[in-house]
Amino acid sequence: MRSDPERIADIQEAIERIERYALRGRAAFDDDELIQTWILHHLQIIGEAARAVTPETQKMSPGIPWAQIIGMRNILVHHYFGIDRDVVWEAVVRDLPPLKRELQKMLP
């Protein structure tokens, strides 16, 4: 079983992988199915890793919206035909940068 620090590192790595392709911009995201799939997959990894972080560790970082991250994962996994690309892109550009900063505070 992976530890909380390993899960946090998994989230950080997924964010960095998303950033690589998000730098290409919204038009590339809209036009390239592979970029969409890449980003969605790594958002799912973020949600899955967040879900596995213990409640004790989650409480130590109240600035991280754990429930929303896990909820996003559930939507991406269970409602894949109804995914709104605008919502996904907004999460990438608005939510991932502050999440990355909060996570960096948690890692040694």
* Catalytic residue selected from 20, 78, 79, 101: 78
* Catalytic residue selected from 51, 73, 94, 101: 73
73 is catalytic: yes
Among candidate residues 55, 52, 59, 63, the one with its CA nearest the CA of residue 100: 63
Q: To which H or E segment does residue 66 belong?
A: helix 66-78
Q: Residues near 72 by Cβ (< 8 Å), separated by ≥ 6?
A: 43, 47, 91
78 is catalytic: yes
Q: Which residues are catalytic?
A: 73, 78
